[in-house]
Every structure is written in C-alpha cells, then in structure tokens.
Amino acid sequence: MCEQLEEDQYREIYIGGESEIVEKKSRFISTTAKIGSEDEAIAFVEKVRKKYWDARHHCYAFTIGRNYEICRCSDDGEPSGTAGKPIMDILIREELHNSIILVTRYFGGTLLGTGGLIRAYMRAAKEGIANSHLIDKTLCQSIKIVTDYQSVGKIQYIASLADAPIIDSKYTEKVVLELLPRAKTTKQLCQKVIEATGGRAQIDIGELYYAAIIDNEVVRF
C-alpha cells in the first residue's frame, strides 16, 4: 500500500503498464493507463478489447477527479462483485486518481469460485500498478525573487530547507530566482526570505498549479 498522501497531493498513473498472472490455467492480463474523462476510459476499454478480441472477459475500474468525482467499474460477465469491485478496491487503496485498470481474462477451463476470482483480479490489478509509472502531484505556487548577489546563498539555503526547487535563475545586474514551493508553505518561505535579506528582496507570488518530480525534473500540470 502506498504511503498516506497529504491533502494538497494526489497520485495518478503517469505511464501505463501491463502485467500477466496465471491462476489455475486462466490468464489475467492487467493493462493500466492515465485518463482524464469517461470518454477516454471508454476508448481505452475498446482499444484493449480489440487487442485481446478472443478473451472471455474484460473487467475494469476507473476513477476521475481529485476527489473521486467519478468512479466506475464493470464485471463484464463475471459473477457480480468478483472483478470490477476488487479492481476498484485496489485503485482506492493505492489512492490513484484519473487512472484505469483493465484486467482481461482468458478462461483456463477451471472455475475459481467467488473468492478465487476476487483474489485473482485483485492480484492482477496490483501487478498492473507495479508495472506502471506513478507520480504524486503536489499543489505548488511559483515565486520570483529579485535580489542582490550577496543574498543568493541565503535564499538558496532557505529554498533547500523548504524543499522548494529553484526552477529558473537569471544573473544580470540583479539575480532573479524562480522557486516552486508547496502552496501551503509559500507565506512562511516569503517571510524567511524577507528576514534573511533585510527586506531588500523583491518577491512576486505567481499562480497555483500542480507539479511533480519526473526523472529528476519538475513538471508542471
């Protein structure tokens, strides 16, 4: 299970993956993806159906929205509650938003029973997530600071303590630094910069948006 996220963060699939497990000769192929709407979810389901056109079941669950505004699941012919809901349970347990997991089943000839199906679909969903690239989006607020050269080191130190990456810098007659702190720490960070520079730094507070660290780079959304 993923660690508990804070209120200003949420997790989603960034790059989908695929995995396969076998349970009593039945193949369970899990395919995951990031989605932004119900239409995208439906299109994804149809795409996977075409890929595995000869499979017996294509069961799925997806969530949309920062606060799970839309949640849908389907057993696609499996006994009620044995496929879609277990997949949804994994999505919620892993705190995934704007994400879909579809588990394709090739029947192997042996009935698994209600409990066996639930365990198989949950395991397949977990494996699909394990093979996906997940990101945590955090609500941030850009800050531009104009300062003199002697204050740069102090600001860099404050930024490092606040875990606020410096995403841009310009050195001319003055130094212009753009920081990206978590929105909830913006006020405190600005106050520390003012105190450290004796009020000489000019601070411009920018827009709010979500950002994530991807391949050691800050990506805005």
CATH number, position 165: 3.30.70.240
Across all residues in the chain, what is the average pLDDT? Answer: 94
pLDDT in tens, 136-158: 999 999 999 999 999 999 999 99
Same domain, 214 and 146: yes
pLDDT in tens, 44-66: 999 999 999 999 999 999 999 98
Count of domains for the chain: 2
| Cβ-based burial of 28 (10 A; exposed 0-12, middle 13-18, buried ≥19) | buried
DSSP strand pairing (9-15 vs 133-147): antiparallel
Domain that holds residue 43: 9-131
Q: Is 69 left (phi over 0), alpha (psi -120 to 50) or beta?
A: alpha
Last residue of a domain, one of 104, 131, 158: 131
Give the span between the Cα atoms of 146 and 67, in whole angstroms.
Answer: 37
Is residue 16 in a domain? yes
Is residue 80 in a domain? yes
Give the span between the Cα atoms of 59 and 45, in whole angstroms.
Answer: 9
Same domain, 149 and 179: yes
Last residue of a domain, one of 102, 131, 160: 131
Is residue 4 in a domain? no
Is residue 2 scored above 60 in pLDDT? no
